[in-house]
């Protein structure tokens, strides 16, 4: 698409919005400005293409389309069938999957679809019927215990939150931790790496129905062949959540033992992050689970979002192009360069480096909590997110870590030289920030001290790094 066409499309859209609610139009424009001016290092964020963004703003938003392709509960869904079928086709071809379900609204929804698909042979249980006629939030722990017992008291084994797992892998406050009798596996305290022998021992002892692989803050590859062997040894269904690294699988950076699709019974993912599509989810599975997965709506989901499925089809088509494989490889190359730059400057990294798109910095060596570091970096034009590290003494709110990732900056065209410059800026912020104190003089885990002049200086340096790599260069809103 030409520069003029893209600029006209977005300018026209904002003019229409402004005529109804100018504050929304202003916020949309401000968001583009903020993203253009910040070093975006949040590992779970990216920049969707103009074509993907535009695919979401259209008349598909007006359609209800419960059901699946050719089997809808509403009439007039022939065009929805077209885009959903295209998205599923692109997903199957891109990942080499037997079946693809593209309706989930998010990664959490995709995981719920997967969990309930595995439990589908027990959906007639009395306890489940009881749960369906009450508000889930009203169920007591005793109710959940009864429900799990009716479902066979099924067990799930997933990576712990502080080791890099996700809250949907059985974290107790999440629905996954209430659905299942759950146990977590961690990492080796000395190396931060998965200990497959200990994981196998835990599986033999616990005998889970579902073994979950995948992560949101583990900076290394995972051997999915070994995990499948462990699952098979205890009769477990092997599920992989590849939301974070789906783009590396699509781009054939992760192949063989490190590609989850040939090894897992069921795979879930988001469609943004390293895949660079719209915010949404997706489930890939073996044929024996396809019928149950396709019941995701109304089993778990509300009506699918046809406009987002259209955008998924566009983004997945983009990911099938040869240049996406080059992009995926550059994500990892940049992450490793960023990690090496931080290590040279004395930063402590969980596992000592990275094999994928993310780096996890233990900021306790700087005398800071993750929350303090996150805010100080934001003041300096560097957008990150705080994250737990293994055996984190500060818990999941304040944390001791900062998670950074390279998908977004790689989309902008930054390379290894800019990654080293970025490492210098991060290190400069963290060394110039000190922990603050509460009003009573006690140490604070949230307050911090950073000279505003230094923060402004680093923000300008960040802008200099970004200047040769404009974001959405074909879009001019002026």
Predicted local confidence at residue 172, as pLDDT: 66
pTM above 0.85, yes or no: yes
| Mean pLDDT, range 344-351, rounded to an integer | 97
Q: Which range, of 68-77, 121-130, 380-389, averages the lowest pLDDT?
A: 121-130
Q: Residue length, the chain?
A: 478
At 271-284, the pLDDT tens digits run 999 999 999 999 99
Span 159-172, mean pLDDT?
Answer: 77
Q: Is the pLDDT of residue 1 over 50?
A: no
- The pLDDT assigned to 133 comes to 46
The mean pLDDT value for 73-93 works out to: 96
Note the pLDDT of residue 142: 77
- Asked if residue 30 has pLDDT above 70, the reply is yes
Residue 53 neighbours by CB under 8 Å, 6+ apart: 278, 311
- DSSP H stretches of helix in 243-369: 246-250, 287-293, 296-299, 306-319, 322-344
Pick the CATH number of 323-466 from 3.90.1150.10, 1.25.40.420, 3.40.50.980, 3.40.50.300: 3.90.1150.10
The pLDDT of 300-313, averaged and rounded, is: 94
Catalytic residues: 64, 66, 241, 270, 273, 279
Taking only the tens place, the pLDDT of each residue in 108-148 is: 999 999 998 888 744 444 555 555 544 445 667 777 677 66
By the 10 Å C-beta count (0-12 exposed, 13-18 middle, 19+ buried), 57 is classed as: middle
Express as a percent the part of the chain with pLDDT over 70. 92
Instruction: Sort strands 155-159 and 210-214 into parallel, antiparallel or unpaired.
Output: parallel
pLDDT score at 150: 64
Residue 362 confidence (pLDDT) above 90:
yes
Residues of the chain with CATH 3.40.640.10: 59-119+154-319
Tell me the pLDDT tens digit for each residue of 410-421: 999 999 999 999
Query: Where in the chain is CATH 3.90.1150.10?
Result: 323-466
Which class is 59-119+154-319 in CATH? Answer: alpha beta
The 10s digit of each residue's pLDDT in 408-449 is 999 999 999 999 999 999 999 999 999 999 989 899 999 999
Cα separation of 195 and 201, whole Å? 10
């Amino acid at each position: 698409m030409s520069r003029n066409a893209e600029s006209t499309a977005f300018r026209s859209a904002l003019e229409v919005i402004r005529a109804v609610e100018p504050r929304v139009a202003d916020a949309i424009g401000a968001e583009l400005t903020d993203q253009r001016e910040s070093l975006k290092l949040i590992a779970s964020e990216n920049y969707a293409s103009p074509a993907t963004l535009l695919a979401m703003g259209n008349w598909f938003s007006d359609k209800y389309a419960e059901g699946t392709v050719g089997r809808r509960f509403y009439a007039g869904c022939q065009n929805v069938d077209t885009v959903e079928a295209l998205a599923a086709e692109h997903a199957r071809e891109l990942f080499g999957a037997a079946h693809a379900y593209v309706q989930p609204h998010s990664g959490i929804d995709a995981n719920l679809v997967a969990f309930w698909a595995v439990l589908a042979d027990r959906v007639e249980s009395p306890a489940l019927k009881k749960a369906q006629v009450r508000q889930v939030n009203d169920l007591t722990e005793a109710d959940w215990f009864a429900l799990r017992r009716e479902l066979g008291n099924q067990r799930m084994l997933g990576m712990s939150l502080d080791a890099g797992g996700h809250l949907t892998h059985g974290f107790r406050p999440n629905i996954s931790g209430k659905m299942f009798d759950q146990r977590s596996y961690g990492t080796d305290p000395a190396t931060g790496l998965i200990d497959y022998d200990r994981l196998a021992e835990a599986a033999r002892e616990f005998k889970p129905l579902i073994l979950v692989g995948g992560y949101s803050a583990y900076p290394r590859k995972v051997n999915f062949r070994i995990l499948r062997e462990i699952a098979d040894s205890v009769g477990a269904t092997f599920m992989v959540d590849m939301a974070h690294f789906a783009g590396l699988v699509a781009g054939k950076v992760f192949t063989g033992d490190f590609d989850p699709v040939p090894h897992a019974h069921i795979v879930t993912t988001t469609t943004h992050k390293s895949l660079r599509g719209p915010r949404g989810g997706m489930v890939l599975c073996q044929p024996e689970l396809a019928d149950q997965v396709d019941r995701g709506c109304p089993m778990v989901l509300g009506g699918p979002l046809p406009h987002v499925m259209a955008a998924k089809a566009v983004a997945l088509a983009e990911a099938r192009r040869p240049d996406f494989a080059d992009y995926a490889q550059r994500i990892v190359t940049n992450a490793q360069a960023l990690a090496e730059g931080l290590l040279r400057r004395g930063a402590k990294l969980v596992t000592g480096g990275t094999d994928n798109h993310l780096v996890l910095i233990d900021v306790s060596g700087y005398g800071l909590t993750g929350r303090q570091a996150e805010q100080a970096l934001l003041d300096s034009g560097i957008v990150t997110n705080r994250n737990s590290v293994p055996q984190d003494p500060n818990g999941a709110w304040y944390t001791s870590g900062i998670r950074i990732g390279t998908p977004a900056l790689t989309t902008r065209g930054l390379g290894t030289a800019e990654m080293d410059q970025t490492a210098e800026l991060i290190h400069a912020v963290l060394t110039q920030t000190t922990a603050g104190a509460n009003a009573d003089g006690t140490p604070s885990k949230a307050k911090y001290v950073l000279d505003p002049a230094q923060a402004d200086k680093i923000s300008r340096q960040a802008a200099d790094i970004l200047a040769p790599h404009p974001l959405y260069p074909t879009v001019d809103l002026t």
